[in-house]
Amino acid sequence: MRAALEAAGAAQLYTHQAEAINAARAGQHLVVATSTASGKTLCFNVPVLEALARDPLARGLYLYPTKALAQDQLGKLNALLKAAGPGIVNPLAVTYDGDTPQGARGRLRKSARILLTNPDMLHAGILPNHPLWAEFFRHLRYVVIDEAHSYRGVFGSQVACVLRRLRRVCALYQGKAAPVFIAASATIANPAEHFELLTGLRGQVINDDGSPHGPRTFALWNPPFIDRTRTARRSANHEASELFTALVADGVRTIAFARARVVAELLLRYARQQLQRGRPGLVERIAAYRAGYMKDERRAIERALFGGQLIGVVATSALELGIDVGGLDAAILVGYPGTIASLWQQAGRAGRGVEPALATLVGLDNPLDQYYMRHPDQLLGRPQENALLDPDNVYILQRHLPCAAHEAPLRVAADPAASSVTALSDDEKLFGPGFVDAMIALENDGTLRYTGERWVYTQSDYPAQGVSLRDAEGDRFAVLDASNNFRMIEELSASTAPQRVHPGAIYLHQGESYQVTEYNAELRHAIVRPVSADYYTQPREVNDVRIVRSLRHRILPTTTAYLGRVRVRSQVIGFRRLQQFSEAVLDEEPLEMPVSEYETVALWFDLPDDLPALLAARGLDPLGGIHAVEHAAIGILPLFAMCDRWDIGGLSTPRHPDTEQAQIFIYDGFPGGVGIAEKGFDLLPQLWAAALDVIDGCACTDGCPSCVQSPKCGNNNQPLDKAAAQVILQRLLGGRNQRRAAGSE
């Protein structure tokens, strides 16, 4: 092992690596939460390889959030295994995922000692077929969860259920013996809580980073105003593309991170147009990389970037994780990525090791980005957020308990005080408080049947095949190119298809424009054709919210706030055409897409009865005011919760039909909820204070995208009244002199 470490350039371990290795050797579950490029991989590779050297039957299971990351780490692991020499018997490490040929899978099941896979394959391919993996599970000693911080929200909540199912299956083959779980995470505020929510286990936290880091310059770049009223800024996409082009033209290896797939494609398109005019030889040395591309295309981009053929890449968060793409010099973040953890992950992709690096955050024209542009100390000195996930979500449990019952009948211990969490004792304890409600629903609809003191799955299919971990609805939507024999150029979530591939939409792929000519919800595909277009499209969506029941309430000095379950109906009602580069709205077109409906968690609060008179006396618009407060609060909520504003929805109304009150609703944009609204409910006065800070600090007169306008608004940001929003927030906070600083308790 010492020789292998020396070959890997790690003859001397960092302090956090030594601490983690010792804890794992002692059989302690643990989470290593240190910075990017701090050598977390050795924290789990060393104890796993030592176990394989001691026991020729021992196995290790490595889970990565993406196939690309697993492929990347396989090469490094094999190099370490080769350096370790013959001391490890049959040191076969393999990837096992959707790209693994069917003919090779049986052989790999028997021969693999370290299996690198992803939660999707574990969920749908391995756990349902665990009898075929009996030898592997019987000797499984370590489960490694890399990039654990990425498991949050709906995806993280579903992976938490998969990991509980993994523990049940391990218990079938090992009894009370159980593998050690090791998680590697970026720095987050709640590593212990997150590890326990994710795995159901308590683990030791190792977060005292002992690795060296090179100098890093971090720049905040705010696009200039383009009008005298200071209400509109130059497009951040245009600014970022020019910065990206300038760096690439100077030979600086650069990665630009965009928050959305369409933005990544726009940036590539803009950059190629600029290079074509000045440095045409570099046009083919830049590319886009994002989820949704076909496997061969992704692999080719990864190889070209690592090998130096590409000098620049525009990516989504798909490259935020630890894939080794060679030495990069600069990172451009087009908009705050939603969390401090992602901010430092993306910035850390440049200048790995002790080399100097440049990271530049280009501010978008929205409340959160502009808040940070005005308060850089709040950005660069801000502690990490809590990673939110909810494994007790009844909606999610109703999807995973049938999978668990198919793998082994569900049971509840007769004596809960004496039970341990195994498949043979208390599944209620394992799956948590939502277990009972989910089981009642599944029994009532006939999915599960109680017989012989256990619940069995009643159907003849494989339930895991119908459950997607990355999409709440579980269905996929194909994008077919009519000009190329209807070849599938991408797959996307069915739940996002109405927004992305509605009729008339401009769809971007590797910087090329395609127009959607057909949308078929029944066959789940959209047909596109290449088109020359100097514009792109943006959907318009409207929502309706009805209260199901209140769960909690807070009596505040000026109002009452509620947390509860609501039913949301959403519909895409049209789209806008926006000019490339300037992003000016050219025109709008109506649509009538299918309505989606789901139940989730929301916070809502009453508006004081005296507000209409107060606003009227000042000549202000109450409707425009509450609408502006809703937008500002949604825009700033990611300051407090590890989420994106696109994960949140809202509604403002002068009289809600369920309460007959003027109210503002903010809800999780996922079925069942994932804790975002609950976080906002707990910190509501701080949320109001931060929203008011954003509005007060904005230089515009009547409201703009930096403070109260929203890119999601289905009502075209009408009506909005910035001054009225200031009065409402001041009133909710009990007057300006009583306002708390944002983020204070």
- Tens digit of pLDDT for each residue in 574-632? 999 998 877 788 999 999 899 989 999 999 999 998 898 899 999 999 999 999 999 99
The residue among 707, 666, 689 whose CA lies nearest residue 744 is: 689
- Averaged pLDDT, 537-547: 92
Multiple choice CATH, 216-380, 3.40.50.300, 3.40.1390.20, 3.40.605.10, 3.40.50.1010: 3.40.50.300
Q: What is the average pLDDT value for the chain, to the nearest integer? A: 88
Tell me the C-alpha to C-alpha distance, in Å, between residue 207 and each of 19, 131, 170, 188, 449.
10, 38, 29, 10, 45
Phi, psi angles (nearest 5°) of residue 128: -65, -20
Name the DSSP letter for residue 230.
Answer: S
End-to-end Cα distance, the chain: 49
Fold for 2-206, please state it: Rossmann fold (3.40.50)
Task: Please tell me the predicted confidence (pLDDT) of residue 416.
Answer: 46
Q: One-letter amino acid identity for 443?
A: E
Lowest model confidence (mean pLDDT) among 302-306, 452-456, 734-738: 734-738
Contacts 24+ apart (CB under 8 A), 227-235: 229/700, 229/701, 229/702, 230/699, 230/700, 230/701, 231/700, 231/701, 231/702, 231/703, 231/704, 232/365, 232/704, 232/705, 233/365, 233/705, 233/706, 235/581, 235/582, 235/583
Question: pLDDT at residue 102 above 80?
Answer: yes
Question: pLDDT at residue 733 above 50?
Answer: yes
CA distance 254 to 328: 6
Q: How confident is the model at residue 99 (pLDDT cuts 50, 70, 90)?
A: confident
Alpha helices in 605-652 (DSSP H): 611-617, 622-636
- Averaged pLDDT, 380-384: 78
Q: How confident is the model at residue 424 (pLDDT cuts 50, 70, 90)?
A: very low
Task: Please tell me the predicted confidence (pLDDT) of residue 548.
Answer: 97
Question: pLDDT at residue 438 above 50?
Answer: yes
Beta bridge partners of 488: 480
Beta bridge partners of 571: 542
Peptide bond preceding 719 in cis form (omega within 30 of 0)? yes
The residues near 617 (Cβ < 8 Å, ≥ 6 apart) are none
Question: pLDDT at residue 545 above 90?
Answer: yes
Tell me the C-alpha to C-alpha distance, in Å, between residue 291 and each of 294, 335, 509.
9, 19, 11
- Averaged pLDDT, 155-183: 94
Q: Is the pTM of this model over 0.85?
A: no
Lowest model confidence (mean pLDDT) among 61-75, 139-153, 164-178: 61-75
Q: CA dihedral defined by 509, 514, 516, 520, rounded to 10 degrees? A: -50
CA distance 397 to 677: 20
CA distance 438 to 444: 10
Task: Please tell me the predicted confidence (pLDDT) of residue 23.
Answer: 97
CA distance 140 to 179: 6
Q: How confident is the model at residue 418 (pLDDT cuts 50, 70, 90)?
A: very low
CA distance 384 to 696: 26
